[in-house]
Amino acid sequence: MKKDTQIQDLIKKEEKRQKSVINLIASENYVSQAVLRALGSVFTNKYAEGYPGKRYYGGNLVVDEVENLARERALKLFKLSPKKWAVNVQPYSGSPANIAVYLALVPIGGKIMGMRLDMGGHLTHGHKVSASGKIWRQIPYGVNKKTEQLDYDELEEIAKKEKPKLIVAGFTAYPRRIDWKAFRLVADVCGAALMADMSHIAGLVAGGAHPSPFPYADIVTTTVHKTLRGPRSAMIFSRTDRLHASGFKFHELIDKAVFPGLQGGPHVNQIAGIAAALYEASQPEFKKYAAQIVKNARVLAEELAKKGWRIVSGGTDNHLLLVDTWQKGVSGKDASTLLEKAGIIVNMNAIPFDERKPMDPSGIRIGTAAVTTQGMKEKDMKRIAARIHSVLDAAGSLKTEEKKA
Ligand code: DSN
């Protein structure tokens, strides 16, 4: 067989691209060689439908060890007792993980209270274009118009009125600290189960740089590839010592929903990658990494604000910030295109109460997990903020000139 050089060339090309840019996509990161090695390992050859000790295929003794190791490391990393929590490491990614939870806990057509996409929620928190909003009914919530932050009193009113079966706490574009206890109280007023989707901040929670949802949630979903710096994959944690309203144990419902409810054979290479990433996240250096991500985001926000850019909600407590670029006449799409030309990768993003369209919203989202992995610190953030400012300010001035003309 003639050697296929095309895909090798494309891999090299992408490696070069990734090294040559400043990557500020809030949901991305750079994994270690150990994680890449696990992903590219022979575990990709194996079928393993079922769970450790209960498989529908032979030849799974080693696979069982991998899955058990990933589960043990996941519980240990988040300081969870196996008497109170179980974890399912089979979800292919964040979207199927969330759908599996709904399948497990909410009857078809039932109400799921989730953050609106245009205020910082995720498609799978019940948006109408996602299966989560077609099969179930979203009870939307947003942020307060003045503070651009969560308003827990307002959440309580919505929950009392609508009585959802499940409340989803957790966001893709929310820069502030989440008060998990307040969410628990909101869930309790209407007897809903509480699911925390900590995908964006899992690495911060693991490293002690954001409060943990585990003391309050019934279910915690997370992707592994964002601040947690693992493979593209997901996990679902569930209480073993509490019963769901249906009378069944949370973890039993979740396991059945993941397989055979939603998925077939787990991707064992991803599970091996999860185990490798969890090992790394449990090392002392990871605590420093998580703290540095937050420091970097704060400095970036402060520097941009000093240069006159409006930071949504006035700042950040986590790994990301939202910049209202439209306030200075630059749309989110233009901002992202111009920055990419200058070697800075961000994504355009709606800001709360955005009057512009999703394909060209009013802002950009900036995250610091990937650049922090590369070793960048506060002084680098000052340099990056200056570059962002000079690119966007030039565009903003041009727009103002155009308007005047
Ligand atoms: N699409 C991801 C993000 O960028 O936040 C969430 O899944």
CATH of domain 35-281: 3.40.640.10
Q: Whose CA is nearest to atom 5 of ligand 1?
A: 172
pLDDT of residue 117: 95
pLDDT at 405 > cutoff 70: no
Question: How much is the average pLDDT of 121-144?
Answer: 97
Q: At a CB cut-off of 8 Å and minimum separation 6, what does 192 contact?
A: 113, 159, 163, 164, 165, 166, 167
Name the band, by pLDDT with cuts 50, 70 and 90, for residue 395: confident
Calculate the average pLDDT of the chain. Answer: 96
Q: At a CB cut-off of 8 Å and minimum separation 6, what does 401 contact?
A: none
Name the band, by pLDDT with cuts 50, 70 and 90, for residue 400: low
Closest CA to 224 of 203, 210, 238, 205: 203
Q: Whose CA is nearest to atom 4 of ligand 1?
A: 27
pLDDT at 239 > cutoff 80: yes
pLDDT of residue 370: 98
Ligand 1 near 368 CB (within 6 A): no
- Which of 199, 201, 349, 364 is the best mutation target for the ligand 1 pocket, counting ligand atoms within 8 Å of the beta carbon and taking the most? 199
Pairing of strands 22-23, 344-345: parallel
**Region of 311 on the Ramachandran plot (φ > 0 left; ψ -120 to 50 alpha; else beta):** beta
Task: Please state the domain extents for the chain.
Answer: 35-281, 286-404
pLDDT of residue 399: 66
Ligand 1 near 226 CB (within 6 A): no
Question: How much is the average pLDDT of 256-275?
Answer: 98
Ligand 1 near 27 CB (within 6 A): yes
Closest CA to 294 of 175, 121, 122: 175
Ligand 1 near 172 CB (within 6 A): yes
Look up residue 359 and give its DSSP letter: T
Q: Whose CA is nearest to atom 3 of ligand 1?
A: 27
The percentage of the chain sitting over the pLDDT mark of 90, rounded to a whole number, equals: 96
Q: At a CB cut-off of 8 Å and minimum separation 6, what does 131 contact?
A: 99, 124
Amino acid at 26: A
CATH of domain 286-404: 3.90.1150.10
Question: How much is the average pLDDT of 321-339?
Answer: 97
Maximum CA pair distance of the chain? 74
pLDDT at 403 > cutoff 90: no
- Give the C-alpha separation, 171 to 123, whole Å: 10
pLDDT of residue 270: 98
Three-class SS of residue 141? Answer: strand
Amino acid at 59: G
Question: How much is the average pLDDT of 255-262?
Answer: 98
For the annotated catalytic residues, the residue numbers are: 47, 49, 197, 223, 226, 232
Gap from CA of 87 to ligand 1 centroid (Å):
22
pLDDT digits (tens, 9 = 90+) for 151-188: 999 999 999 999 999 999 999 999 999 999 999 999 99
